[in-house]
Structure 1
Amino acid sequence: MTDVPAAPRSTRAWLLSDRPQSRAQARLGRAYISWLRFASNPLALVGLAILLVLVLVAAFANILAPHSPTAGDLAGAQLLPPLSPGYLLGTDDQGRDILSRLIHGSRLTLTVVLLVAVITAPVGLLVGTVAGYAGGWVDGVLMRITDIFLAFPKLVLALALVAALGPGIENAVIAIAVTSWPPYARMARAETMAVRHSDYIAAVRLMGASPVRVVLRHVMPMCLSSLIVRVTLDMAGIILIAAGLGFLGLGAQPPSPEWGAMIASGRRFILDQWWVATMPGMAILIVSLGFNLVGDGLRDSLDPREAGQ
């Protein structure tokens, strides 16, 4: 932690106080301690930097892209190698600038990741906490439904859903979301069962709190840290599934600059014009690595066992 820039003395002492004067101070103090633990991991900071670059590139794609991502030059600019004049990463068979397509494709990747996370995390958390807290036949029904989804490989089930719904980025998001929530439900159920008989939950019930309030206000917050870590670690897999659907022509449709579709269009030239498929593949690799590094850092910083040391 000595490598982490320290906050001003008074602010740092206020955040690290072992006797907080308010709930806000206690929450900010815990968040600050988690940040110090996260920032002490150099690889986690590298992953965070990768994700920040992804967000900035997606936000300013129209400014950063030197060429149109969809319109190409069929008169002499086809399959140009990297470092060609005006084309840093070369061009594809349609004469389109690969760098510009990668920059605009970051928007699609970030959109898919955010939409899937927004859909799957709350659904999995709700199903898991309700099943774990209620028990009995409610737990049995919800977990058997979860087991049905877990019985199929994610990519196979996503392919079946997209084939039924039709190709397109919206349907791809729905298919990925439907296949991604069961692990979150399992994790939330396990943590709920570990705390549902604890003393503070019993005290809340004795105060007259309804089961709905207990689950929403007291059980779900206990599962959030593990859920955030799991979602972050799963982002790399979501990116790969989205790229796989795009590679098979079931995701974003041409001429959208989706990275998986770019790899599919470049596989015909992989031996001679390797850059057409390699550049989007490297983009997927770097972004997936960034999410994994951030997930590992969050797992270490949010682990309550580490916090007590």
Structure 2
Amino acid sequence: MSAVSRREWLLSDAPQTRRQARLGAIYQGWLTFRGNKLAMLGLIILVLLIAMAIFAPLLAPQSPYAQNLADRLQPPSSAHWLGTDALGRDILSRLIHGSRITLFIVGTVALIAPVIGLFIGTVAGFAGGWVDQVLMRITDIFLAFPKLILALAFVAALGPSIGNAVLALALTAWPPYARLARAETLTIRNADFIAAARLQGAGRLRLLIRHIWPLCVSSLIVRVALDMAGIILSAAGLGFLGLGAQPPLPEWGAMISDGRTYILDYWWVAAMPGIAIFTVSMAFNLLGDGLRDVLDPKGDKS
């Protein structure tokens, strides 16, 4: 085989080799993740939650909005597996439909906040100088306030609604991602491959998008998975205070707020949505631990 034909063969085989290496890394990551039983438990719970949200109209035994005062505050029974609330609405049906609201809030915040944090953090870490100082001082201002208090301020200014609650949570959740992205950028901005790409004519924007962002994504994914529990609790807190989803939407935090008056005599009204919040939050934490083992080999896995 001549040198020219060998070079052509190597170039033609390179994409396939990279594809095989990528598939092998994905498979090894799946084996590592599957070996973590608690992470698999969290994944199963979240898959069931997603399926429940998708097929809510089929799974719910009754309408989540149907009121029947004759059946108000009924304990769990064969007619109402999780009991009824003060208006005679079936709690199980409301929990099933409320999973859609929970996934909407979590998914939207998980799409907005990390993107904002990734952009601000990588720009600050890569540019340095006064740009880094200004962006990080803005980040420090947001970090100086408790997340829920700052979200309450935003929702109070924008008005109570589920859309404004999502926006408020996204605007208060990005600073930790910015800090993490900046730290990752500072460790790689002077690497040899960055210098080589710069010598080949790559501009700042190309360096950020093609070389720095992909290396920061894995750490952000782990942080997002671990932060989902906090986002759920913050959304439930806004709903509990009446600043999130408005009645009659079956939001889990609002359901706890409705049942706090009867918690001593009719415990199931507030306990059932509380158990749902606890279960989903635990599932996200378990999933985040498993993703950290796969995507963050530098972390402490003890």
Smaller-chain TM-score bracket: over 0.9
Alignment partner, residue 80 of structure 1: 74
Whole-Å separation in 2 of the counterparts to 1:167 and 1:27: 46
Whole-Å separation in 1 of the counterparts to 2:202 and 2:124: 18
CA deviations on 1:232-289 (whole Å, 9 max, x unpaired) are: 0000000000000000000000000000000000000000000000000000000000
Quick check: 1:204 aligned with 2:159? no
Alignment partner, residue 273 of structure 1: 266
CA deviations on 1:85-119 (whole Å, 9 max, x unpaired) are: 42100000000000000000000000000000111
CA deviations on 1:159-218 (whole Å, 9 max, x unpaired) are: 011000000100000000000000000000000000000111111111110010000000
Alignment of 1:222-241 (within 5 A): 222-241=215-234
Superposed CA RMSD: 1.2
Paired AA for residue 302 in structure 1: L
Alignment of 1:115-126 (within 5 A): 115-126=108-119
Whole-Å separation in 2 of the counterparts to 1:199 and 1:246: 50
Whole-Å separation in 2 of the counterparts to 1:128 and 1:29: 31
CA deviations on 1:51-77 (whole Å, 9 max, x unpaired) are: 001100000000000001012111x21
Quick check: 1:30 aligned with 2:25? yes
Give every structure 1 segment of 4 or more consecutive aligned residues whose post-TM-superposition deviation is greater than 6 Å. Answer: none
Whole-Å separation in 2 of the counterparts to 1:135 and 1:28: 36
1:103 to 83, 96, 102: 96
Alignment partner, residue 142 of structure 1: 135
Alignment of 1:119-268 (within 5 A): 119-268=112-261
Whole-Å separation in 1 of the counterparts to 2:16 and 2:252: 50
Superposed displacement of residue 22, structure 1: 2.7
Paired AA for residue 122 in structure 1: V
Whole-Å separation in 1 of the counterparts to 2:174 and 2:254: 25
Whole-Å separation in 2 of the counterparts to 1:21 and 1:70: 55
Q: Give secondary structure in 1 for the equivalent of 2:88.
A: coil
Q: Which is richer in helix?
A: 2
TM-score, normalised relative to structure 1? 0.91
Gaps of 5+ in 1: 1-18
Whole-Å separation in 2 of the counterparts to 1:78 and 1:194: 60
Superposed displacement of residue 23, structure 1: 2.4
Whole-Å separation in 2 of the counterparts to 1:196 and 1:110: 36
Paired AA for residue 48 in structure 1: L
Whole-Å separation in 2 of the counterparts to 1:304 and 1:291: 19
1:41 to 36, 49, 68: 36
Whole-Å separation in 1 of the counterparts to 2:298 and 2:122: 22
Alignment partner, residue 51 of structure 1: 46
Superposed displacement of residue 21, structure 1: 4.2
2:84 to 80, 88, 91: 91
2:56 to 40, 47, 61: 61
Q: Give secondary structure in 1 for the equivalent of 2:71.
A: coil
Superposed displacement of residue 20, structure 1: 8.6
Whole-Å separation in 2 of the counterparts to 1:117 and 1:234: 9
Whole-Å separation in 2 of the counterparts to 1:26 and 1:303: 18
CA deviations on 1:24-44 (whole Å, 9 max, x unpaired) are: 222222111111111100000
- Preserved contact between residue 20 and residue 26 of structure 1 (Cα < 8 Å): no
Quick check: 1:283 aligned with 2:276? yes
- Preserved contact between residue 80 and residue 90 of structure 1 (Cα < 8 Å): yes
Q: Give secondary structure in 1 for the equivalent of 2:85.
A: coil
Whole-Å separation in 1 of the counterparts to 2:230 and 2:214: 25
Whole-Å separation in 2 of the counterparts to 1:208 and 1:222: 20
